[in-house]
Structure 1
């Protein structure tokens, strides 16, 4: 199936459109679905193109997958909706969830490979009768805070407006994400109070969010994740043209090739292409990328503005980190929890105390997601939808 239309296909949006309005939709077949008399188990799926807001406050579009579960919701009240923000997939079109959810796996020679690893979490929600909408994000906005948050929020608005989806128009919602998805869910939790106050947000599950982009670069230096740095730099210059010259001046010819290569790869291919390489191998002057980005005022100011913690969530949050996380520095989510608590948010900090295994391999970062997400996270989510008072670790 061809990729659905995205932002570039709608250069001029109708002025009457509001954030969350649907531009078009098409049916999708979810991989491993089972046909039943009542519909394909676990869910009917539609890909939508919806109006949202870019980093500069202008209108743009994103795609998302709306999943309407076949099982009934057996909890309290109306069927709830989760706006699900996926972890790092890549910024190339074939890496989007709306593509991968149809096949679960993509491969392009010689070794660009990715899978829809979020399917187990999405499936657990659908099996309980929770509707799910999964944004593909605005194109080329990897870890761009405002754009990611808006895409998550407007995906929820769009799902509630989709005809015949069986999702209540003003029903309860939650945000969910881990890693890049945790960053997006945190951004949405901070932005929703001013951007979409009409939404009935019950809570946000925020797993291992990159809080500071500079700290992320420093902490992950020399590990498996340099390729994802290409996703971010490409997104940075796409969303903030004022940073383009600074990034171009930073990179060597090899670094510019790095941007072009990773922009066409999914996360598996980008990791394999640049695993264990130091970032200073791609800069002109031999400094690390974090050192150059921090020293240049053209990029330092943008990165400061994009840090999480500049506003407080208006609904309860479960915030997850772990001492074994070898991708996102665990000190940053801990500080974010303190910041949110200090401005009156209700935060349940889950801080796993596990040993580090093969630092730089991202094993610790990866295993923490199912350890919490398939156990405490699902229970916490159900409790929010069932009206149970939210726990808090705020002092």
Structure 2
């Protein structure tokens, strides 16, 4: 009679098959080493990325070989064995080429493991074992597919999945070693044998119950993951076809491509149109941008003065455009909007290129922001036959938009000579990006700072050829950093960015180099606007600003005063970063009156340097 065939290993790991009959002392050593390995993988996802890859790659190859040597029955088992070997080789090969490809390969490996578990559920085992294999297979496939949906958390997901599996297996091996050393082989009697049989039956029943319970947990986990994925995706903004530029666009910058009704809430005293137009980016490449044009309902005759509004940070992804949001044309988003419309002014608010319309977003890149704002004004002049824009223009901006406003005024006479900028009002402006970077980076790293840093670093690397992303980020973190730029602060998915940053920060910082040094530091310095503008300037900020330290605003004002720039400034006690531009702010009457006096050429105090 031929010897019975040895059952095939039931896990994809190679170690179970290799240590099945090992001596107890070997089990102790192997178990301890495997537990430490698992802990490293879970707690140090970036540091242990190579370790994870070597472990998984070698294990997959050995597992596939063992399956083939065991002569698997049927094409499914042979196909899975071959897939293990190929995937293991792919992991080891890609380790030497790019760690960025490793998470995707590991996700594929997770799917293969799930298919193997499904195959075992179909071919062999008790009912409870089959149910558990099926549930575990489905859960692995679901986790693998979700890893592709959220690339930046792939490393963390796989680290937890593989790491926990490794820890559990290591603990089991170590426990077997302890039991093997401490328990002598007893002499058995027939009575002992009967009792052992009863114990085995009881353990079998409990094991079956445990398998069914674990199966429910796995199915619930997979279902919960897909529900969470749907919820996060449903909350993401949708960029409609309006923002897709045609194959051919008008030549030159500031040309209107198309216009359409704004889909959000309307102001009480205005009509809102969204426009798509041509512009140029910071390095003079042709680009497309979108904007909101807000016109008074009762449009007075004659040319209308223009307010150019530059919005604060909304993210850097295409879907973060203010014109896609519901309240972007209300007084909650644009300060003193209703007063401006009642005065007969036209308010033009650019999204900046790369938001709404496709392209690279110029976050804190002065010329890119400014050109988008100025070209929105030029394109608006083509919008309606009954709308004539006056050259008289006042530029407003908040936070990042304050930076954009300063640059808009600085380049207006050269880039758009038909626009006469009478003055510039900025609230909590980022006038000096390098100084802000040094201030923020001087404190302890945190998740929100990691997200904000990605919003600066990625656009700079895409705009300037000498700024290389890999020079500033930790090895293996490219997908994490890039994905952080694809979510807006207002969508639920930003939680994924924050949690990922938190998880990785427990390992090591995402950013491995000084962000104010090298090519990035030089480019940040190029985008500072600390020079006099030559026209009236109004600056305000909250004394309790939690985003941009008030010290930077005071330093900025002192520097301008020393250079002879007329500056009217105000700081508001008890106000945070956003409060100065919200309804009922004490700053809004100041902003409106100052702007009205400029447009009407009335005498007013425009220089507060002597008041400091």
Q: Distance in 1 between matches of 2:476 and 2:338?
A: 41
Q: Do the aligned residues in 2 keep the contact of 1:233 with 1:259 (CA within 8 Å)?
A: no
**CA deviation string 1:31-73 (max 9, x = no partner):** 156xxxxxxx532222212222211123322111111111456
* Structure-1 residue corresponding to 2:608: 393
Q: Distance in 1 between matches of 2:587 and 2:527?
A: 26
* Structure-1 residue corresponding to 2:400: 180
Runs of 5+ consecutive residues of structure 1 not aligned to the other structure: 34-40, 106-114, 356-362
Tell me which of 285, 298, 301 is aligned to 2:522: 301
CA 253–198 in structure 1, closer or farther in 2 if over 3 Å, else same: same
Q: Distance in 1 between matches of 2:503 and 2:514?
A: 10
Asked whether 1:237 is paired with 2:464, we answer: no
Q: Distance in 2 between matches of 1:324 and 1:276?
A: 27
* Structure-1 residue corresponding to 2:532: 312
* Structure-2 residue corresponding to 1:42: 269
CA 279–336 in structure 1, closer or farther in 2 if over 3 Å, else same: farther
Q: CA deviation at 1:87?
A: 0.9
* Structure-1 residue corresponding to 2:180: none
* Structure-1 residue corresponding to 2:595: 381
Q: Do the aligned residues in 1 keep the contact of 2:405 with 2:426 (CA within 8 Å)?
A: yes
* Structure-2 residue corresponding to 1:345: 565
Tell me which of 276, 283, 295 is aligned to 1:68: 295
Q: Distance in 2 between matches of 1:372 and 1:215?
A: 28
Higher relative contact order (CA 8 A, sep 6+): 1
**CA deviation string 1:197-236 (max 9, x = no partner):** 3212221111111123233234345484543332222211
Which secondary structure state, in structure 1, belongs to the residue aligned with residue 309 of structure 2? strand
Q: Do the aligned residues in 2 keep the contact of 1:21 with 1:157 (CA within 8 Å)?
A: yes
Q: Distance in 1 between matches of 2:499 and 2:434?
A: 18
Q: Do the aligned residues in 2 keep the contact of 1:255 with 1:282 (CA within 8 Å)?
A: no
**Aligned-pair Cα RMSD in Å:** 3.3
* Structure-1 residue corresponding to 2:483: 261
Q: Distance in 1 between matches of 2:458 and 2:294?
A: 30
* Structure-2 residue corresponding to 1:79: 304
CA 2–274 in structure 1, closer or farther in 2 if over 3 Å, else same: closer
* Structure-2 residue corresponding to 1:24: 258
- Where is the strand percentage greater, Structure 1 or Structure 2? 1
Q: Do the aligned residues in 1 keep the contact of 2:293 with 2:349 (CA within 8 Å)?
A: yes
- Where is the helix percentage greater, Structure 1 or Structure 2? 2
CA 97–373 in structure 1, closer or farther in 2 if over 3 Å, else same: farther
Which secondary structure state, in structure 1, belongs to the residue aligned with residue 401 of structure 2? helix
Which secondary structure state, in structure 2, belongs to the residue aligned with residue 147 of structure 1? helix
CA 249–223 in structure 1, closer or farther in 2 if over 3 Å, else same: closer
Q: Distance in 2 between matches of 1:348 and 1:271?
A: 37
Q: Do the aligned residues in 2 keep the contact of 1:346 with 1:394 (CA within 8 Å)?
A: yes
* Structure-1 residue corresponding to 2:57: none
Q: Do the aligned residues in 1 keep the contact of 2:335 with 2:581 (CA within 8 Å)?
A: no
CA 155–299 in structure 1, closer or farther in 2 if over 3 Å, else same: same
Which shifted more, 124-133 or 185-194?
124-133
Q: Distance in 1 between matches of 2:253 and 2:398?
A: 24
- Max Rg structure: 2
**CA deviation string 1:149-185 (max 9, x = no partner):** 111122122223322362x243421111111111111
Q: Do the aligned residues in 2 keep the contact of 1:88 with 1:267 (CA within 8 Å)?
A: no
CA 29–288 in structure 1, closer or farther in 2 if over 3 Å, else same: closer
* Structure-2 residue corresponding to 1:227: 451
Total equivalences in the alignment: 357
CA 11–91 in structure 1, closer or farther in 2 if over 3 Å, else same: farther
CA 119–178 in structure 1, closer or farther in 2 if over 3 Å, else same: closer
Q: Distance in 2 between matches of 1:348 and 1:306?
A: 23
Q: Distance in 2 between matches of 1:375 and 1:258?
A: 44
**CA deviation string 1:292-331 (max 9, x = no partner):** 1223x2212111111112x432421111224322211223
Q: Distance in 2 between matches of 1:188 and 1:88?
A: 17
Asked whether 1:98 is paired with 2:318, we answer: no
Asked whether 1:327 is paired with 2:550, we answer: no
Q: Distance in 1 between matches of 2:241 and 2:339?
A: 26
Asked whether 1:367 is paired with 2:589, we answer: no
* Structure-2 residue corresponding to 1:138: 353
Q: Do the aligned residues in 2 keep the contact of 1:175 with 1:203 (CA within 8 Å)?
A: yes
Q: Distance in 1 between matches of 2:603 and 2:482?
A: 48
Runs of 5+ consecutive residues of structure 2 not aligned to the other structure: 1-238, 355-360
Q: Do the aligned residues in 2 keep the contact of 1:89 with 1:266 (CA within 8 Å)?
A: yes
* Structure-1 residue corresponding to 2:215: none
Q: CA deviation at 1:262?
A: 2.5
CA 372–258 in structure 1, closer or farther in 2 if over 3 Å, else same: farther
CA 351–119 in structure 1, closer or farther in 2 if over 3 Å, else same: closer
Which secondary structure state, in structure 1, belongs to the residue aligned with residue 539 of structure 2? strand
Q: CA deviation at 1:336?
A: 2.9
The 4+ residue runs of structure 1 with deviation greater than 6 A are 276-280
